[in-house]
Structure 1
Amino acid sequence: MHNAYFHYAEPKNEPVLNYAPGSAERKALQQALADLKAETRDIPMYINGKEVRSNSQKEIRPPHETGHLLGHFHEGTGEHVKQAIDAALAARQSWADMAWEHRASIFMKAAELLATKYRWRMNAATMLGQSKNAYQAEIDSACELIDFLRFNVHFLTQIYNQQPLSPQGFHNRMEYRPLEGFILAVTPFNFTAIGGNLPTAPAMCGNVVVWKPANTQIYSASVFMEILLEAGLPAGVINLVYPSGPTIGDICFKHPDFAGVHFTGSTGVFQTMWKTIGENIANYKSYPRIVGETGGKDFVMVHPSANVDSVVANIARGAFEYQGQKCSAASRAYLPSNLAEEIKEKLIAEVRTMKMGRVDDFTNFVNAVIDEKSFNNLAKYIDGVKNSAGKAKIICGGNYDKTNGWFIEPTIIEAMDPYYVTMCEELFGPVMTIHVYDADKWEDILHVVDNTSGYALTGAIFAQDRYALETMTKKLVNAAGNFYINDKPTGAVVGQQPFGGARASGTNDKAGSILNLYRWLNARTVKETYVPVTNYRYPFHQAD
């Protein structure tokens, strides 16, 4: 009998473990790394709750140790996509009808499994498959993913509890249904947490999902799927497949039951998706929800009153943690002429202390970029600076090597032109470009900061002058969806800084907040009249 209202209190953010020498967590993670490296994993797709294998297998190798084989994944075809859609639609009604407390329990259990039993395995898989160091894996594949699961349960409970007014004699209520059809979740390589959140947020709302991760994130995605199944996720609710992007898009976007896409990836791909959905709009049962986050060209604006050491430390972390492969990574910085030389000197000294190498050596701050395509793209930009005829120069780093992995040395470029190519285009690697401006004209440079890039994801401003902070905050109001004052532009925490940007950076539906969940719900208003009228006439119809 379902006659109680269930409450899920606001959770606390999952504590971040530090992995200090001699700590229990360090030993556990080192063992998990050794265990995974000792096996060659055979990674299937998961359709209708069952493992599915194909005739085509693709190798998975660590980006930082390309000579080592971690395993193979089974590449999907169009037929697998169709099977995943069919499985999702077959599961839809039962999943939508499941009482909320039972749906919620599945994801709360998954969070608990991830926080305990699977923490080391998930972090190790992220480290090996995506070349993250121990701390970057911990804040991503453990803490952020756990937070997404727990906070989304809390947020969704808040939504369900929001009800309209009911005057005497009537009962008004709001029901929140899942969308009519299936959701396509397309997830990136750089965050395991995003890979987990994009399919589970819609599923938590009662939707069924076809999930396609980036090939370079399949290794950790498959571990999360194991967790969901152990937590009791019913067959067909989330179906994990590995086809090519064009293959899954061609089938899903032509299907009449396509109800929405939850996407993180490139602007070009997202715009193509949007165009294709628009061209097929008459074929759908409903208007699909289109939710996407598509990258950034994130800035650091330094005011003449800024604290130099704070600027240096935050650029070093913001630009080079996880090799600059965060959508939010600091990629361009504007330094005032009165502080520029001191900032450059100290920043270069700091960057030169950063060790680079394999993830299982915990002393390494920098690891490899994700694959050869990324490596070649970054090398092209670095070589372009060397041949720029004085338009820009490399003041730190600038080397790269792919002998044993895709290693790009942390690089700082100084651009004489604020519109030099590396100030404008998203590089997605450990390459930071700085431009020195006239300190007396700091307000003028704000227009350049705002208009240099089509993106508007994250940005940071540094100043000790409060009037200047207010001015910059106002003038850069549209330049970033996540805005940081005297802090690096990375590191958004679920429940604290809901994440997302506008302009070319996406739809700004704020993952990690209640706003994102509204996108996966259809509201139905129900009005019940206790004593209905029996005469159509109103009092004003009566004669005097």
Structure 2
Amino acid sequence: MQPIHAKNYIDGQWQEAGQVFESLNPANRRETVGTAPLSQAADADQAVASAKHAFESWRELSWVKRAEYIDAFAQLIRRDIEEIAALVTRECGKPLNEGRADAVEALHMAQYVAGLGRMPNGYTVSSEISAKDAFILRKPKGVIACITPWNFPSAIPTWVILPSILAGNTVVFKPAEQTPIVAHKLMELFHEAGLPAGVVNLVHGTGEDVGDPLVKHKDVAGILFTGSRAVGKYIQQVAAGDAYKFVATEMGGKNGTIVLEDADLDIAVNACVLGAFKTSGQRCVSTSRIIVDRKLEPEFTRRYVENVKRIKVGNGMQDDIFMGPLIEEGGIEKWKLHNAKAREEGAEVLVDGQVLTEGEHACGNFVSPFVYRFDGYKRNTFCLREEAFSPHVAIIPVSGMEEAVDVYNDTDYGLSMAVITEDYRKWRWVRDHADYGLGYVNLPSIGAEVHLPFGGVKASGNGHPGAEGILESVTHRVAFTVNHAREIVMAQGLSTKL
């Protein structure tokens, strides 16, 4: 398959930007999926100027009319869903069924947002004065910078771009350097859907050369970011210097699945395999800590380890592959570091993950799962507190529900949590006492749906979730009061009498 030459998309035109960089298939580094422009700050400035100009006319359209453009985009995703799925798999490595799920989630988001165009986007409230009507309206903020990660290269961009433009904002989209070709495909569909020039702009490049200028740009009113804790925190700090600039960040997790003493072990084992190893553990919601009641732990561990050893690792374009490669060679080094830390901190290694370099794995970033166990929880350990973002999983025996939640909460993060139990009173207690943004019962810690908020607490986010929740971040809720009387009457008893 010939490499795809991606371009920037600014003011409705495809543009080059001097130098290019390659996007390689992480399952086969000899394959160049495509090339993309290595853009600079001037390209980001041009994109912001285009978006700022387009904002003045785009905001004048009704929500319904803007939703019609999004509906046209949804129809194109549906038409090309298999092409998008294959691109996702080739560029970010996850197996084809996950690539297809990524594309389907993008479709679902487009359908959901298009439907919101005909839903109420403001409401009337009673004034204290009967002759007045009071309204609360949503008004767009302006130019929104959307900075997205590689691991959901079609889904997450739609989470942030589509609600932004539905509300009347315009967008500059900066995708991850690892997946520029999927981003290019999305922009082709936006172009084909007929969006007016400047409503959505795409600028490829690095975080330093493109992302940083966007974050600091005086004409960017809001920043929607999904990525690492360090970068998210930096963006928050930069934006804090401009009182008008709003940031919504989603920044990873050290997620846990809690298996209580009454758990159905079939559900527990399957949930923990899915939660830990889909996308090779490279999801912000991946389970990296399995917190198991001691009464069940020996049998759970035996069955879990048996299943993990059956996982087939390889090129995701093959139908029988469960787990693909890590996104880049640096991910292998990080995985090695976390594994070494687990050993240093006294873990019992149950499945000793290996770097896979022979045969079909020779040219990819392949590793096998690493699973370990602590007999007694250790606080202040690196391996149990820091995000590994790889197939690296701890089993932690605990005594009872309260200790399970205490262990789960013992991290700076608070993104995703699953609890496996047959007792509704127990899951309700866990629901109310664990620190998380996404909670699941008798399910894996993965599996978000687009009509639900997606975000975390503590170091996982700043309380402004993506997907369904983005409308709150990209609009101002403004008050508007109308007087129908022939005189001015004030709610607090003020008078016009001189």
21, 33, 50: which one aligns with 2:13: 50
CA shift for structure 1 position 334: 1.2
Q: 8 Å contact 1:332–1:432 — kept in the other structure?
A: yes
Give secondary structure in 2 for the equivalent of 1:125.
Answer: helix
Question: Which letter maps to 2:35?
Answer: H
Structure 1 CA distance, aligned partners of 2:157 and 2:25?
A: 18
CA shift for structure 1 position 103: 0.8
Structure 2 CA distance, aligned partners of 1:436 and 1:533?
A: 72
The corresponding residue for 1:34 is: none
385, 405, 408: which one aligns with 1:446: 405
The corresponding residue for 1:225 is: 187
Question: Which letter maps to 2:210?
Answer: I
Give secondary structure in 2 for the equivalent of 1:97.
Answer: coil
Q: 1:63 to 1:534 in 2, by over 3 A?
A: closer
- Which is further off, 518-527 or 143-152? 518-527
User: Are 2:410 and 1:455 equivalent residues in the alignment?
Assistant: no
Question: Which letter maps to 1:446?
Answer: V
- RMSD across aligned C-alpha pairs, in angstroms? 2.4
CA shift for structure 1 position 165: 3.9
Structure 2 CA distance, aligned partners of 1:194 and 1:257?
A: 24
CA shift for structure 1 position 375: 1.5
Structure 1 CA distance, aligned partners of 2:25 and 2:483?
A: 64
User: Are 2:469 and 1:510 equivalent residues in the alignment?
Assistant: no
CA shift for structure 1 position 156: 5.0
Give secondary structure in 2 for the equivalent of 1:160.
Answer: coil
Question: Which letter maps to 1:335?
Answer: V
Q: 1:89 to 1:540 in 2, by over 3 A?
A: closer
CA shift for structure 1 position 522: 2.2
Give secondary structure in 1 for the equivalent of 2:179.
Answer: helix
337, 353, 374: which one aligns with 1:380: 337
Structure 1 CA distance, aligned partners of 2:494 and 2:76?
A: 64
CA shift for structure 1 position 491: 0.3
Deviation string, structure 1 residues 237-285 (Cα, Å, up to 9, x no partner): 111102321233443344332211011011111111111122344xxxx
Q: 8 Å contact 1:152–1:512 — kept in the other structure?
A: no
The corresponding residue for 1:396 is: 351
Deviation string, structure 1 residues 423-463 (Cα, Å, up to 9, x no partner): 111011111111123x3x54234322212x11111111122
505, 519, 532: which one aligns with 2:486: 532
CA shift for structure 1 position 161: 5.0
The corresponding residue for 1:72 is: 35
Q: 8 Å contact 1:510–1:516 — kept in the other structure?
A: yes
User: Are 2:464 and 1:464 equivalent residues in the alignment?
Assistant: no
Structure 1 CA distance, aligned partners of 2:94 and 2:156?
A: 15
User: Are 2:74 and 1:111 equivalent residues in the alignment?
Assistant: yes
Question: Which letter maps to 2:11?
Answer: N
The corresponding residue for 1:182 is: 143
- Which is further off, 349-358 or 149-158? 149-158
Q: 1:313 to 1:223 in 2, by over 3 A?
A: same
Q: 8 Å contact 2:260–2:420 — kept in the other structure?
A: yes
Q: 1:533 to 1:83 in 2, by over 3 A?
A: same
CA shift for structure 1 position 233: 1.1
Q: 8 Å contact 1:78–1:243 — kept in the other structure?
A: no
The corresponding residue for 1:348 is: 305
Deviation string, structure 1 residues 315-374 (Cα, Å, up to 9, x no partner): 011111111111111110112222112111111111122111112211101110111111
User: Are 2:105 and 1:144 equivalent residues in the alignment?
Assistant: yes
The corresponding residue for 2:272 is: 315
Q: 1:504 to 1:400 in 2, by over 3 A?
A: same
110, 123, 144: which one aligns with 1:162: 123
Structure 2 CA distance, aligned partners of 1:344 and 1:535?
A: 71
Q: 1:428 to 1:102 in 2, by over 3 A?
A: same
The corresponding residue for 2:439 is: 483
The corresponding residue for 2:204 is: 242
Give secondary structure in 1 for the equivalent of 2:225.
Answer: strand
User: Are 2:383 and 1:415 equivalent residues in the alignment?
Assistant: no
- Which is further off, 264-273 or 304-313? 304-313
Deviation string, structure 1 residues 372-412 (Cα, Å, up to 9, x no partner): 111211122223445x27x0132114111353111110221
Q: 1:338 to 1:206 in 2, by over 3 A?
A: same
Give secondary structure in 2 for the equivalent of 1:61.
Answer: strand
Give secondary structure in 2 for the equivalent of 1:223.
Answer: helix
Structure 2 gaps, min length 5: none
Q: 1:101 to 1:68 in 2, by over 3 A?
A: same
The corresponding residue for 1:201 is: 163
Q: 8 Å contact 1:88–1:236 — kept in the other structure?
A: yes
The corresponding residue for 1:268 is: 230
Q: 1:152 to 1:510 in 2, by over 3 A?
A: farther
CA shift for structure 1 position 154: 3.0
Question: Which letter maps to 1:409?
Answer: S
The corresponding residue for 1:33 is: none
Q: 8 Å contact 1:196–1:221 — kept in the other structure?
A: no
CA shift for structure 1 position 208: 1.2
Structure 1 CA distance, aligned partners of 2:39 and 2:189?
A: 22
The corresponding residue for 2:213 is: 251
CA shift for structure 1 position 100: 2.3
488, 508, 520: which one aligns with 2:474: 520
Q: 8 Å contact 2:225–2:250 — kept in the other structure?
A: yes
Q: 1:159 to 1:372 in 2, by over 3 A?
A: farther
The corresponding residue for 1:361 is: 318
Q: 8 Å contact 2:67–2:115 — kept in the other structure?
A: no
Give secondary structure in 1 for the equivalent of 2:28.
Answer: coil
The corresponding residue for 1:492 is: 448
Question: Which letter maps to 2:240?
Answer: G
Q: 1:109 to 1:471 in 2, by over 3 A?
A: same
Structure 1 CA distance, aligned partners of 2:48 and 2:112?
A: 28
Structure 1 CA distance, aligned partners of 2:488 and 2:299?
A: 83
Q: 1:93 to 1:481 in 2, by over 3 A?
A: same
Q: 1:346 to 1:50 in 2, by over 3 A?
A: same
Structure 1 gaps, min length 5: 1-37, 282-286
Give secondary structure in 1 for the equivalent of 2:248.
Answer: strand
Structure 2 CA distance, aligned partners of 1:298 and 1:126?
A: 24
Structure 1 CA distance, aligned partners of 2:29 and 2:241?
A: 42
Q: 8 Å contact 2:287–2:445 — kept in the other structure?
A: yes
The corresponding residue for 1:5 is: none
Structure 2 CA distance, aligned partners of 1:245 and 1:540?
A: 56
Structure 2 CA distance, aligned partners of 1:468 and 1:175?
A: 41
Question: Which letter maps to 1:432?
Answer: V
Q: 1:233 to 1:345 in 2, by over 3 A?
A: same
Question: Which letter maps to 2:467?
Answer: G
Q: 1:533 to 1:72 in 2, by over 3 A?
A: same
Aligned residues: 487
Structure 1 CA distance, aligned partners of 2:206 and 2:494?
A: 67
Q: 8 Å contact 2:59–2:169 — kept in the other structure?
A: yes
